[in-house]
Amino acid sequence: MKALERRLSGRREASLEELEEVQSELATLSLRELTSLLGRTSASRGAKILRLLPPERSAALFDALTAAHQADLIRALGDDKVVNYFGAIGAEDRVALLDHLPVEIAERLVRQLDEDDQRVTSVVLGYRKGTVGRRMSPKVPNVTPEMTVREVVGLLHDHVDELETIYTIPVVDADRSVCGVLRLRSLFRAADDDRVADLMEDASVFHAGDDLEDSARWLLSSGRLAVPVVDDDNRLIGIFTYDEAHDVAEGANSEDSARMGASEALRTPYLSTPVLRLVRSRIVWLLVLALSAILTVQVLDIFQATLEQVVVLSLFIPLLTGTGGNTGNQAATTVTRALALNDVRKSDILSVLWRELRVGMLLGTVLGSLGFLLATAFFGLGIGTVIGATLLIICTISATVGGMMPIIAKAVGADPAVFSNPFISTFCDATGLVVYFLIAKSVLGI
């Protein structure tokens, strides 16, 4: 595969002979290897690979990619091949892909679908982004409690190819309200004449307007394979499957991870993302953070007289601001993750406050004592006292603020991961410096 990567990365156009060689090499790769190959090359080269593969394989490969990556490839492919790929993927994946395409391309693609596919696609498109309705599969079988096992098996036999999942089967009343789910497993325990009513279990359902990320995480942690989706009148309109849920949760994890590192999530594999897009995903955050760091310049400006009198104070600035930032980030990271997993909710703000206050004081006591001893040894008792006391207070404030920020962010409807780490460092830096100089002035009497 290495040799193939090198060959594909050559700059000049390949000869016909070379193309045939590449084609026969591609034929030896598994779907897993092809996916990985596409994730490590630019969209234009990825498009070349798709063209060189037999139609069925290239459609399967396309289906295995993330929506944003698919969108890049569609732009690189031009028109002719695209319609086939688009028709071959499920309605819920199609909608995810449309979300990443410019409107004019999206509209043209939808128009070229057959009537039935247009209908199911537009049902899903009818729900807001970020809701379960937007990522459900709208094709579900029509199973009622009165049916026998034999009838259900017959129904599945006839429709298995159209259905996204047959492992969890919603059971509906005459008015299509969900009255239970039938796990395929139960069919194997049962006799042919048993009725669905006696085999089905209580159903958990999602409403089409439910929050996508929360629902996805719950489905995954519950170990379910799929959950029926109902509309406002409780009528069955689709099913949300674990593999969609996994894609959603993974996307959210990537986003949280990126935000905690103060950048935007890439959505396409790192090596296939153009450098300018990497810059774009980072520059805004860097600018915002650098501008807010001007606050620290101003704080130091205020205390410039103190600094001029005792220049040695400036030696500890990075150590103190760094420790404050680290303590704040630890608390923020922990609470952000707990919020994402629903272990902590907005109403827990006071419990979190009280826990982080204690944690911060304990951490501050340990670090402060150590700082006191070391600074006293090298710079004398005065400086030692200032450093020790500053560390104690900085750790307490930073842990508390760091723990609260993600919850406050969530309460005002912002992304906890955004509002936490990047801003916490800046906040802790500025607060820490004020604390530092106030303590220094009073202890050293300047």
SS3 90: coil
Rounded CA-CA distance 387/74 in Å is 58
Query: Which of residues 290, 350, 373, 411 is near a second copy by CB under 8 A?
Result: 290
27, 294, 373, 434: which one binds a second copy (CB under 8 A): 294
Is 222 a binder of a second copy (CB under 8 A)?
A: yes
Binding segment for a second copy (CB under 8 A), chosen from 45-53, 118-126, 228-236, 425-433, is: 425-433
Give the shortest CB-45-to-a second copy separation in angstroms.
14
Q: By CB under 8 A, is residue 301 in contact with a second copy?
A: yes
CA angle, 436 then 439 then 441, to 5°: 105
**CA atoms of 299 and 306, how far apart (whole Å):** 12
Pick the piece of the chain touching a second copy (CB under 8 A) from 46-54, 105-113, 230-238, 329-337.
Answer: 329-337
Residue 346 per-residue DSSP state:
G
Left if phi > 0, otherwise alpha if psi is -120 to 50, otherwise beta: which for 129? beta
The SS3 assignment for 201 reads strand
List the one residue from 3, 16, 174, 275 that touches a second copy (CB under 8 A). 275
Q: What mask, x for binding a second copy by CB under 8 A, covers residues 389 to 408?
A: ------x-------------
**Which member of 126, 177, 312, 434 binds a second copy (CB under 8 A)?**
312
Choice between 51 and 355, CB closer to a second copy: 355
The token pair that represents 427 in the structure block: 């906040």
Q: Which of residues 70-129 bind a second copy (CB under 8 A)?
A: none
For a second copy, the binding residues in 227-256 under the rule CB under 8 A are 242-243, 246, 250, 253-254, 256
Buried b / exposed e over 149-183, threshold 16 CB at 10 Å, is bebbeebbeeeeeebbbbebbbbbeeebebbbbbb
What residues numbered 122-161 form the site for a second copy, per CB under 8 A?
Answer: 153, 156-157, 160-161
Nearer to a second copy, 64 or 414 (CB): 64
Neighbour tally for 108: CB within 10 Å: 14
Angle between helices 103-111 and 91-98 (to 10 degrees): 150
**How is 309-322 classified by DSSP, letter by letter?**
H-GGGGGGHHHHHH
**Exactly one of 23, 337, 353, 385 binds a second copy (CB under 8 A); which one?**
337
For a second copy, which residue of 218, 231, 349, 376 counts as binding (CB under 8 A)?
Answer: 218
Contacting range for a second copy; rule: CB under 8 A; set: 16-24, 118-126, 138-146, 274-282? 274-282
Give the contacts of 232 (CB within 8 A, at least 6 positions apart): 207, 208, 209
Q: Is 220 in the site for a second copy (CB under 8 A)?
A: yes
Chosen residue from 327, 396, 400, 431 binding a second copy by CB under 8 A: 327
In the three-class reduction of DSSP (H, G, I as helix; E, B as strand; rest coil), residue 40 is classed as coil
Binding mask 11-40 for a second copy (x = CB under 8 A): -------------------x-x---x--xx
Q: Could you give the C-alpha distances from 318 to 292, 310, 314, 326, 437, in angstroms and in order? A: 17, 16, 8, 12, 14
Kindly identify the residues of this chain, within the stretch 36-55, that bind a second copy according to CB under 8 A.
Answer: 36, 39-40
Identify which range of 51-59, 193-201, 227-235, 287-295 contacts a second copy by CB under 8 A: 287-295
Instruction: Kindly state the smallest distance separating residue 350's Cβ from a second copy, in Å.
Output: 12
